Structure 1
Amino acid sequence: MIRGGSLKILFLLLSLLNFLDGIFTFLGIQFNHISESNPIMNHLWEISPFLFLLLKICLSLFLFYLAIYFYSKNTRTWIFLLFIPLALYSSVMVLHIVWMTNI
């Protein structure tokens, strides 16, 4: 049986991965090691790197909030839906690790 605690863990993990992605992307672009692949986030970066970072931090805080207060009777559906961004962010973290080890 899937419990609500699993859902909280997934939201927390997603929050952490989003935050780390923001920090690593910020540093990587600042030091010209990487470029932003997401066109929306790249446009935001061009407007202001600090606005980019602020949005990533706010999204992480929102996900953290959801981890604490979100409740759904459809836990299985939410777990399935959360695995999609978790898989994507995990892939992005692998890319960050690769470029950091190649510096």
Structure 2
Amino acid sequence: MRYLLLYILLLNLVDAFVTMYGLHFQYISESNPLMHTLYLTDPWLFLLLKVGLSFVLLFLLFHLKTDKRSSRVLLLVSVFAAVSYSCVFLMHGYWLLEVAGGLV
């Protein structure tokens, strides 16, 4: 479970910076309405929320009791989040390679 939460944490951080790069240069657009609004309001607010979510995961990693960390519900939610987030990250990466790669 620890590795799964760490994977999501790292993926979230990398995706935050890759997404910021893509949005800044208008290579990609943000489909999540909340994140889109945050980015339009202030890109730093967007980044703050993404990094803040990573700190929540970091808190879960080190402050949840062992029996809570092994919860079946947490495992299912974490697996769903990891798979979903991996797909989103791969899409962002593909779009950036297609668009930005053609410009370099």
Taking structure 1 as the reference length, the TM-score comes to 0.85
- The one of 80, 90, 93 aligned to 1:94: 90
Pair 65,90 (structure 1): closer, same or farther in 2 beyond 3 Å: same
* Structure with the largest fraction of helix: 2
Structure 2 partner of 1:85: 81
SS of residue in 2 equivalent to 1:35? coil
- Of all paired residues, the percent bearing the same amino acid is 35
CA contact (8 A) 2:16 2:51 kept: yes
Q: How many residues align?
A: 97
Please report the RMSD computed on the Cα atoms of aligned residues, expressed in angstroms: 1.4
Offset of 1:20 from its aligned partner? 1.4
SS of residue in 1 equivalent to 2:31? coil
Offset of 1:74 from its aligned partner? 4.8
- The one of 24, 27, 36 aligned to 1:33: 27
CA contact (8 A) 1:9 1:67 kept: no
CA contact (8 A) 2:38 2:46 kept: yes
2:61 matched to 1:76? Answer: no
2:48 matched to 1:57? Answer: no
**Moved >2 Å (runs of 4+):** 73-77
Q: Which runs of 5+ in 1 are unaligned?
A: 1-6
